[in-house]
Amino acid sequence: MPSVQSPSVPNASVARHRVLRLLHILVVLASVVLLYGVTYDTLHTESFAVHERYLRMQFWICVFFILETVVEWLLRPNRVRHFFTMLALVAVCVPYINIVNYMEWHVSLEVYYILRVIPIVRAAVVLVVMWGIMEKNWVTGMFGSYLIILTITLYVLSLLFYVEEHAVNAQVYNYWQSLWYSFMQMNTCGSNISPVTPAGKIIGVVLSVEGLILFPVFTVFFTQAFGVTRQDSATASSN
Is 201 a residue whose pLDDT tops 80?
A: yes
Q: For residues 137 and 135, give the distance between their C-alpha atoms in angstroms, rounded to a whole number.
A: 6
Give the pLDDT mean for 17-34.
84
DSSP string, 60-100: HHHHHHHHHHHHHHHH-S-TTTTHHHHHHHHHHHS-HHHHH
51-87 pLDDT, tens digit each: 677 788 888 988 998 998 898 888 887 888 888 888 9
Q: For residues 169 and 193, give the distance between their C-alpha atoms in angstroms, rounded to a whole number.
A: 9
- pLDDT value of position 134: 58
Most confident of 7-21, 126-140, 142-156, 199-213: 199-213
- pLDDT value of position 206: 87
Per the prediction, the chain carries an average pLDDT of 78
Separation in Å, CA 49 to CA 38, 67, 161 = 8, 23, 18
- E strands, 117-157, are none
Is 6 a residue whose pLDDT tops 60?
A: no
Is 217 a residue whose pLDDT tops 60?
A: yes
Which residues touch 200 (CB under 8 Å, ≥6 apart)?
A: 161, 164, 165, 169
| Nearest CA among 153, 213, 160 for reference residue 183 | 153
- pLDDT value of position 2: 47
67-79 burial: b if 16+ Cβ within 10 Å, else e: ebbeebbeeeeee
Q: In the structure, what pLDDT confidence band is assigned to residue 226 with cuts at 50, 70 and 90?
A: low
Is 13 a residue whose pLDDT tops 60?
A: yes
- pLDDT value of position 4: 46
Dihedral of alpha carbons 151, 154, 66, 45, sign: negative
Most confident of 185-194, 199-208, 220-229: 199-208
- Percent of the chain scoring above 70 in pLDDT: 75
